[in-house]
A and B are shown apart, each in its own frame.
Chain A
Amino acid sequence: AQKITQTQPGMFVQEKEAVTLDCTYDTSDPSYGLFWYKQPSSGEMIFLIYQGSYDQQNATEGRYSLNFQKARKSANLVISASQLGDSAMYFCAMSYRWRQNFVFGPGTRLSVLP
């Protein structure tokens, strides 16, 4: 069965510093996608970044990068130059081919300190 693990329930980072949010996954499907979503206090789910299982290079989107280590089944999110507006819940998620479905991790609450 597919599973996402996020071992950091909460993280603190100083403004302007970089932070890494951990995500490990478990699947036997050779084709899958990995995603990170941000959920601010308003509740909306905001897509941040995507990594396909066959992608050779790590995905990057502005200040977000995904450190994809396929052999270790990890997909950590790196946020560079943290901003106060980055304070939110962050969810790692995985899609898999034979079901049009995602599985989400439990989330990590990031707090950016001024």
Chain B
Amino acid sequence: SQTIHQWPATLVQPVGSPLSLECTVEGTSNPNLYWYRQAAGRGLQLLFYSVGIGQISSEVPQNLSASRPQDRQFILSSKKLLLSDSGFYLCAWSRPLQNYGYTFGSGTRLTVV
């Protein structure tokens, strides 16, 4: 069966510090991978998606970046965090060429102070 792991679960970082959130998928190959952000009490905003190694599409220009160094690994990064980067970050995967839904990771709650 497929599983998705996301860590850390919670993170408190000072403004201007770097960020690295990691997401890995097991039990499948060549998944589509996604990073979403959810501000408090709001819906989900797609940040990045990837259909293959090294292929990253950005939906929202900002100080965040994403990388996919391996088939089942997706990393969300920032060189310098802003207060507005606080939120709940969710990684998700889906099967390529099929619109049958996402499976989400457990999320990372990031607080920038």
Interface residues of A (CB under 8 A from B): 31-33, 35, 37, 42-45, 47, 50, 91, 95-97, 100-102, 104-107
- Given known contacts A35-B101, A97-B99, is B51 in contact with A104 (CB within 8 Å)? no
Q: Is B44 positioned at the interface, with any CB of A under 8 Å from its CB?
A: yes
Interface residues of B (CB under 8 A from A): 32, 34, 42-44, 46, 49, 51, 88, 90, 92, 94, 96-97, 99-104, 106-107, 109
Contacts of A91 in B (CB 8 A): 43-44
> What's the minimum C-beta distance from A109 to chain B, rounded to whole angstroms?
9
Nearest-neighbor residue (CB-CB) of B104 within chain A? A45
Please classify the interface of chain B as helix (H, G, I), strand (E, B), loop, or mixed, using the class held by over half of its residues: strand
Please classify the interface of chain A as helix (H, G, I), strand (E, B), loop, or mixed, using the class held by over half of its residues: strand
The complex places the Cα of A44 from the Cα of B100 at a distance, in Å, of 18
CB-CB nearest 4 A-B residue pairs = A95-B99, A45-B104, A43-B107, A104-B44
State whether A33 touches B100 (Cβ < 8 A): yes
Given A45-B102, A107-B43, list of 13 further CB < 8 A pairs?
A33-B99, A43-B88, A43-B106, A45-B104, A50-B101, A91-B43, A96-B99, A100-B94, A100-B97, A101-B49, A102-B46, A104-B44, A107-B42
